[in-house]
Amino acid sequence: MPDRIEKFTYSNSQPERLDKFLTANLPEFSRARLQGLIADGFVRVNQIPAKKSGQMLEAGDEIETRIPPPVPSGIIPQEIPLDIIFENDDLIIVNKPAGMVVHPAAGHANGTLVNAVLGYDPEMEGIGGEERPGLVHRLDKDTSGLIALAKNERAHRWLQDQFRLRSVNKIYWALVDGKPPTPAGRVEAPIGRDPSHRKKMAITPPHKGRESVSEYRTLKSFKAHTLLEFHPLTGRTHQIRLHCAFLGCPIVGDLIYGRKKSTLEISRHFLHAAKLSIVLPGENQPRQFEASLPEELRRVLDTLE
């Protein structure tokens, strides 16, 4: 794939930083990505390599930006069946099954969602970064449900901005042991690394963790369990699992943050990303996508009823 060449003429009367100008004219790329292109010599001003990102442009300057194709990730595409909820030219929304890791990592070199997506659409390789092509958010291995992946740089930037501005609306269903203090409420409990177990997260004092906010409401009450709907307003690692434990009602089957032995017959924790509301690239109003509760979780509810 050849390099993409973009040429501009600076016409404003007031000087402006080179990186700011490029960010406005190439909105599909982050400012950091464009600063990297400048630093690597891919941007010329009046046919001379730009010296720095803060170089000031003046009226009449000719800017040429050479954008190399995405770097191959080295991730092996695999033909793994995908439950595709929605797809267009910009993104794909998948209903991820429990047990599937989202992207390759130590101990999970293949069989991941990214391997499957690259097997389905090899052109997504390198989008948004070579290690995690197309990803803008994640789900835990044993959490099922909706996850969106970008199919091009413009869509990746668009989705990143929505998650950064917290305009994406995500709804999860969680079956918990016991019940929360109130039928509905809001949890504000900072999250950071567990100082004793570096692979775990923990509720921390405010100055040691990142702001973490969730809202919840009760969907159904059982004798010793409660089905909750969670709306995370932030996107911290293991946020809902930790907030449920913080409320004194850990998620059923969560052997890390909940009880050491599950109170019900289940092979995973009972957490499902059920709804995702997002504005698609080029549109103004959000669309809502839904994924039904998986069969193994429906069976658990049937036993309670």
Active site residues: 140
* Cβ-based neighbour number of residue 146 at 10 Å: 25
State the number of CA atoms in the 13 A half-sphere of 11 facing the CB.
4
H-helix or E-strand containing 226? strand 225-232
CB atoms within 10 A of CB 231: 16
CA separation for the pair 19, 195 (Å, rounded): 39
Are the C-beta atoms of residues 257 and 245 closer than 8 Å to each other?
yes
CB proximity list for 72: less than 8 A, separation 6 or greater: 125, 126, 130
Contact 49, 106 (CB under 8 A): no
- What gap in Å lies between CA 63 and CA 48, rounded to an integer? 9
Task: Give me the DSSP letters along 125-182.
Answer: TTTT-SSSTTBSS---TT-EEEEEEESSHHHHHHHHHHHHTT--EEEEEEEEES--SS
